[in-house]
Structure 1
Amino acid sequence: MKNKIGAYIAYLKYLWRSSDQHSVHSPFVFELLTKCIHKVPKGSKTSAYNQAIKAYLEKKNIPLISPLTELTILETSLTNRGVTAYFVEEINADFKQKELWKKLISDKNIQISIDYWSFGLIFTKKDQEKEHFILFKNSWR
């Protein structure tokens, strides 16, 4: 019972802190939201978001790496000078995943992070200031 209450409180905090595309000041992230993520049908599973994001980023020649490990980020950041995207599943599933997410978004190689509660996106984009976005999925509107 205690875990369910804790999860419910964590979700309410997430909803309180989250916002929509109108609070996004990054043209890169705004376009990703409006032209890709918000086009995924309501009620879709995480895998549908993964596929849509991958297809969208491929058109822009941005590789999407999934599944993600910490070693993957280190290897890619050392070899890649462009933009790389990482899809992180179940970022709020349990304590271990939450801690991994916190560690990833604080990494100096990560400039952009997007928290969608059930999944997260992180980007290495050397020419951009570090930004973290907590956004709703379109299915919650």
Structure 2
Amino acid sequence: MFQFIAHLHFLLKATNQHGVHSPFIYNYVTKCLYNKEKTHPNKSYNVVLKSIAYFKIKTAFVASEKLKKNITTNLNYTKTSVDFGYLNYPDLDKFTAINYHNNTMVFVDNIYSSKQTKETWEQIKLLKNVTVTVDVFYGAAVFFRKEQAKEHFKIRL
């Protein structure tokens, strides 16, 4: 029941590319997320795989062996200075342990699976180093871009 109500709230507040005024996020949404190519039936994995290709990711921290099996590009899996991070659920300790840089993207999956995960997601968004988030309901992309103002987007897929 929680997910159903959370999804209704999400749909009421979410927008498409026309509600995005950041050139970086507009390009990410239109050229990556709205790319018609379907890379995986799981919606979160589909976003992750498209994002890895779009940003030409080289190093990654992925907390899911199942996802690693679906990644076809040659990535260097490490915990130091990663270009991409993936967390199965919002986890503040794991999130803050990721060694990110200005162009790192972290995808946090299952952000609305329960009240607790939603609360943890809200705490992640408030972190000082988090500047941009793109919430697609199933998960969210987090960016640490110093040159960008703090913004949070809800995008319908």
Give the TM-score normalised by the residue count of structure 2.
0.73
Higher relative contact order (CA 8 A, sep 6+): 1
Structure 2 unaligned regions, length at least 5: 60-81
CA contact (8 A) 1:83 1:126 kept: no
- Equivalents in 2 of 1:59, 1:96: separation in Å? 30
What amino acid is the match of 1:64? F
TM-superposed deviation, 1:76: 4.8
What amino acid is the match of 2:105? A
TM-superposed deviation, 1:8: 2.4
Structure 1 unaligned regions, length at least 5: none
- Aligned-pair identity in percent equals 26
Q: Give the secondary structure class of the aligned counterpart of 2:7.
A: helix
Q: Give the secondary structure class of the aligned counterpart of 2:8.
A: helix
One of 41, 45, 57 as aligned partner of 1:44: 41
CA contact (8 A) 2:39 2:46 kept: no
- Equivalents in 2 of 1:14, 1:43: separation in Å? 23
TM-superposed deviation, 1:48: 1.9
What amino acid is the match of 1:134? K
Equivalenced residue count is: 131
- Equivalents in 1 of 2:52, 2:28: separation in Å? 11
Distance 1:30 1:85, change over 3 A: same
TM-superposed deviation, 1:7: 3.1
CA contact (8 A) 1:57 1:64 kept: no
- Equivalents in 1 of 2:7, 2:96: separation in Å? 30
Residue 96 (structure 2) pairs with residue 74 (structure 1): yes
- Equivalents in 2 of 1:71, 1:83: separation in Å? 21
CA contact (8 A) 1:115 1:121 kept: yes
- Higher helix proportion: 1
Distance 1:108 1:93, change over 3 A: same
Q: Spell out, residue by residue over 1:17-69, the C-alpha distance to the aligned partner (whole angstroms, 9 max, x if none).
A: 00000010000001011111111439931212111111211269981111275
TM-superposed deviation, 1:11: 1.4
TM-superposed deviation, 1:95: 1.6
CA contact (8 A) 1:105 1:113 kept: yes
